[in-house]
Chain A
Amino acid sequence: MRADLIALLPELVLATLGMVVLLAGLAAGRSRLYALSGGAILSLAATAFALWLAVTATNPAARLFSGMFVLDPFAVFFKALFLLSSALAVLLSIDYLRRNDARPGEYYALILFATVGMMTMASGTNLATIYVGLELMALSTYVLAGYFRREVKSHEAATKYFVLGAMSSGILLYGLSLIYGTTGTLDLTVLAKTLQAGHPSTATLVGMALLACGFLFKVAAVPFHVWTPDVYEGAPTPITAFMSVGPKAAAFAMFLRVFLGGLAPLDGQWRWLVGAAAALTMVWGNIAALTQDNVKRMLAYSSIAHAGYALVGLVAGGPAGTQSVLFYMLVYTVTNLGAFGFVIMLESKAYAGETVQDYAGLARKHPLAAFGMLLFMLSLGGIPPTAGFMGKLYLFAAAVNAGYVLLVVIAVLMSAVSLYYYFRIVLQMYLRDGEDAEPAPLLAEPWTERVIWACGGAVLVIGLLPAPFLAAAKATVGVLGLP
């Protein structure tokens, strides 16, 4: 029991501190933004420390809480990634909340709770654990999406997200119950053994398909993506940034664990399903992004497309496929948070920051910031020497190795297409002169700027020297009980 609790320490710490932040926020109201932001960051830092403690004290192979929970390298990688993305999201929110005069307490508390949920998802080895984590994460993000409840768009985003998200959770749950009904277990290891032993019944397959639908919804893959552009557009921008990396990575964590672990014996049945979804996602995500004038919507479609690339890694499977998805999630997190940081910085009074045209002439007015955005766009498009290239290289290598050459060809062609819309922003920044000759001053956004620098630095470092990060992803080999 003691070992179980130690392994759970990070989640316990974060949940407790989340409540502390919530209570402190109630007391502070709209004031004390910086104190609360610091509190949120400290909570995440404390959790990282607890994670380190838990890792050193826990046997990575041990199955805790009667097989509900593990703390294997796979889970640790994702937990560290979630802590990183939540911390960056908090930092991105500071200036935004100040500018919009919002109540920071609940906002930060919800981010922290969502992080607890994500961490639980990454560790769950039982479908019930995973589902509990998922709902904790989802409920927190529903509220966050509608945090500015007086703004129609934010309101609309939250409602859409909630209705569709709840429905997808329902579908997922239905799939779960079918699988439980036919196999008698929710434990992924037992499930894999049961499925291996006998021929799966039709109901099991239907359950698997429903699970796949639910998961595809959570990662925003076509054809379950329709909520994404509206929600991303309407949600407060730091939350959009957060949703596009944290919850998405968490969804991939559970996708990997369930489909390459428990449902691995059914891979003959789900590979083509997920493969087709990956192809559709890449094609449609990129093509739809071509026509978007709103940068947030464009980045939403881009995030759909990136889910498609990551799904290619899932389809490839095996140690190489898993590692490549993990590494890609890291790459995508730093890149996308940086890009959204830039959008947040521009959403001040001087710039609307939402339409592509608002970026005209920025390179002349703010050369360094524009250079940062150039890096992020190159990274999203997969051009070296940025992290995005290394991520894609690794991902596509895994897929080619597994023999999914056609998927890779679609993926590389679509990433060439994607450069067109990423470069629409670059074009506006560098190649057009702004309407107003006078550079409008950016509002002082010190924290947002720092996040952009950190992410820009990370994009270059991972792009030029990816070895240590790949090694971290490589440590997770074999923990999913792959075939």
Chain B
Amino acid sequence: MGFATNLLNIICYVPLLGAFVIIFLLKQEQSNAIKAVATVVAGLDFLLSIPLWFVYDPAGPAFQLTYVREWIPAVGAKYHVGVDGISVLLILLTTLLGFIAVYSSFSAITHRQKEYYVFLLLLQTGMLGVFISLDFVLFYVFWEVMLVPMYFLIGVWGGPRKLYAAIKFFLYTLVGSVLMLVGILALYFYNSTGLKAIGLPGLGHAPTFDVTELFKVAPQIPPGLQFWVFLAFFVGFAIKVPMFPFHTWLPDAHVEAPTAGSVILAGVLLKMGTYGFIRFSLPLLPDATRKAVPWMVGLAIVGIVYGALVAMAQQDMKKLVAYSSVSHLGFVMLGMFALNPQGLTGSVLQMINHGLSTGGLFLLVGIIYERRHTRMIADYGGLAKVMPVYAMLFMIITMASIGLPTLNGFIGEFTILVGAFNRSATWAVIAATGIVLGAAYMLWMYQRAFFGEITHEENRTLKDVNLREQWTLIPLVVLCFWIGLYPKPFFRILEPSIMRVVQAVDPDYMNRPVAQLAAPLPAGSGQEQ
């Protein structure tokens, strides 16, 4: 029962504990104490998660730091947690953004602070739980638990149409996830007793929701069942991603959510969907996945181009960033369904990149919104003169989002395009237009907001970013450069886990002639430095 065996539990439940401390020991009026506790807890959680980076051994077993206990023996659900390379990175992203979300809310949230920080911490426990769960029931519990705090974060502290946005977010994601539950049950019974009424005999194993057990039987699942389960999972995950055409909840939720809510939503919550695909759909349903590739890639590419085009037409900065997320997540999906190591690695890395850069963009928009209470691009102009530091930070994050070399976005998008190109040059070409469009709408927004003459007198007196605001952004900037200049450690940590996914979803991949194989992993992408 050492530190290592319980590390994941500690990381997951520290925020919950912090929430309890705030609920029971502090009063609404003690706003400074509440902020202090929330910051300390979130910071501590981040510090606790750093050892994961070192303890996780890429050469070791698939899932590490596991912790297994009986939970509901009657149905075969266990409390089973563990991490692989993919989840390690996502956990680190979550704890970092969780801390930044708390730290960035000090001045933005002025009413009902106690509940706000409680919900933020509860949300963090839910998100971390999703990334560490290796049991379907446990996973589902965390998956749904996340919805409730997010509903409140949008609904209580959101913008003018917060009630509409909150319930829309809640119901959309819920509809997806309940269908996923049916899919989970179908897998569960196929593994054990079979589905009597449709005449499908089971495999006769002991009933279990354990994902690692189900991985073992994945190749035996008949294609017909795989198709339906894939469809059920698809609805759940695609809504969360969100893939075109399930994305309509996203702009509403993002625009209405408070800054920290948007950061978490874009940075982590959207990754739940892509994580679901890579953790469950691909390895568990390889046949259906391979057959779904044209459809998935089609939707991903439509999402890339459509998201970019709509983003270009936005007047509202937050909406622009929201639609850019649709486009970027399209890239993530494209890389994933290239089903080769490059595509998948790029896909996971791009999840992290998108979390960093889009999280940063929402923070930046939040900073200016707090000063001027408008997010319309047209209300700004010439900001670079009055807020030079802000303008510089905004520029770096913008470049990261566009995918400029030396910054993280480039590595992710490049790797994805390599993977996609190996499957089909056409995909890569169409998707690459998304990058061009991305550069166009981001730079156009930057130009309108920061360059030129100051057209609104109010903007002359704007204060530049203060120390606290700088410190919410600096970690993101540092990471953007790190991944952009020296991504090798990230690739190293991801590679074995990605190879396992490839092995599961496309067992023949390694046996094909070298000529058909993709180029080696672009581990040396740091050459630009």
Q: Which of A363, A393, A467 contacts B181 (CB 8 A)?
A: A393
Residues of chain B lying within 8 A (CB to CB) of residue A404: 197
Report Cα–Cα, A420/B181, bound state, in Å.
Answer: 19
B156 engages A409 (CB within 8 Å):
no
Residues of chain A lying within 8 A (CB to CB) of residue B166: 427, 431
Q: Which of A412, A420, A466, A474 contacts B179 (CB 8 A)?
A: A412
B185 touches A (CB below 8 Å)? yes
A427 engages B167 (CB within 8 Å):
yes
Residues of chain B lying within 8 A (CB to CB) of residue A420: 167, 171
Residues of chain B lying within 8 A (CB to CB) of residue A431: 152, 155-156, 162-163, 166
Report Cα–Cα, A419/B176, bound state, in Å.
Answer: 13
Mark the stretch among B80-88, B187-195, B266-274, B424-432 that contacts chain A.
B187-195
Report Cα–Cα, A467/B74, bound state, in Å.
Answer: 7
B179 engages A409 (CB within 8 Å):
yes
Interface residues of B in 136-187 (CB under 8 A from A): 137, 140-142, 144-145, 147-148, 151-152, 155-156, 162-163, 166-167, 170-171, 174-175, 178-179, 181-182, 185-186
B74 engages A409 (CB within 8 Å):
no
B512 touches A (CB below 8 Å)? no
B186 engages A402 (CB within 8 Å):
no
A384 engages B144 (CB within 8 Å):
yes
Residues of chain B lying within 8 A (CB to CB) of residue A385: 141, 145
A413 engages B73 (CB within 8 Å):
no
Residue of B nearest to A463 (CB): B141
B72 touches A (CB below 8 Å)? yes
A82 touches B (CB below 8 Å)? no
Q: How large is the interface on B (under 10, 10 to 19, 20 to 34, 35 or more residues)?
A: 35 or more
Q: Closest CB of chain A to B198's CB: distance in Å?
A: 5
Q: Which of B112, B171, B185 contacts A419 (CB 8 A)?
A: B171
Q: Number of A residues contacting the other chain (C-beta, 8 Å)? A: 37
CB contact under 8 A between A470 and B141, given known A364-B112, A383-B148, A401-B193: no
Q: Which of B141, B163, B170, B198 contacts A405 (CB 8 A)?
A: B198
B196 touches A (CB below 8 Å)? yes
Residues of chain A lying within 8 A (CB to CB) of residue B436: none
A474 engages B74 (CB within 8 Å):
yes
Q: Closest CB of chain B to A424's CB: distance in Å?
A: 9
B295 touches A (CB below 8 Å)? no
Residues of chain B lying within 8 A (CB to CB) of residue A378: 148
Q: Closest CB of chain B to A343's CB: distance in Å?
A: 21
Q: Closest CB of chain A to B487's CB: distance in Å?
A: 37
Residue of A nearest to B193 (CB): A401
B189 engages A384 (CB within 8 Å):
no
B186 engages A400 (CB within 8 Å):
yes
Residues of chain B lying within 8 A (CB to CB) of residue A364: 112
Q: Closest CB of chain A to B180's CB: distance in Å?
A: 9
B62 touches A (CB below 8 Å)? no
Q: Closest CB of chain A to B404's CB: distance in Å?
A: 41
Report Cα–Cα, A402/B194, bound state, in Å.
Answer: 9
A309 touches B (CB below 8 Å)? no
Q: Closest CB of chain A to B486's CB: distance in Å?
A: 41
A440 touches B (CB below 8 Å)? no
A453 touches B (CB below 8 Å)? no
Q: Closest CB of chain B to A374's CB: distance in Å?
A: 8
CB contact under 8 A between A402 and B140, given known A409-B179, A419-B171, A423-B167: no
A413 engages B141 (CB within 8 Å):
no
Complex interface bits, A372-406 against B, C-beta within 8 A gives 1, otherwise 0: 00000010000111000110011011001111110
CB contact under 8 A between A397 and B185, given known A402-B196, A420-B167: yes
Residues of chain B lying within 8 A (CB to CB) of residue A408: 182, 185
Q: Closest CB of chain A to B146's CB: distance in Å?
A: 10
B198 engages A403 (CB within 8 Å):
yes
Residue of A nearest to B175 (CB): A416
A427 engages B155 (CB within 8 Å):
yes
B197 engages A467 (CB within 8 Å):
no
A108 touches B (CB below 8 Å)? no
Residues of chain B lying within 8 A (CB to CB) of residue A423: 151, 167, 170
Q: Closest CB of chain A to B132's CB: distance in Å?
A: 16
A393 engages B74 (CB within 8 Å):
no
B141 engages A402 (CB within 8 Å):
no
B175 engages A413 (CB within 8 Å):
yes
B215 touches A (CB below 8 Å)? no
Complex interface bits, A327-356 against B, C-beta within 8 A gives 1, otherwise 0: 000000000000000000000000000000
Question: Sorted from nearest, which 8 A-B pairs have the closest CB atoms?
Answer: A403-B197, A412-B178, A384-B141, A470-B74, A400-B185, A431-B155, A416-B174, A416-B175
With A400-B195, A401-B193, A431-B152 known, 14 other A-B pairs at CB within 8 A are A384-B141, A385-B141, A389-B141, A397-B75, A397-B188, A400-B186, A401-B196, A402-B196, A403-B197, A412-B179, A416-B175, A423-B151, A431-B155, A470-B75
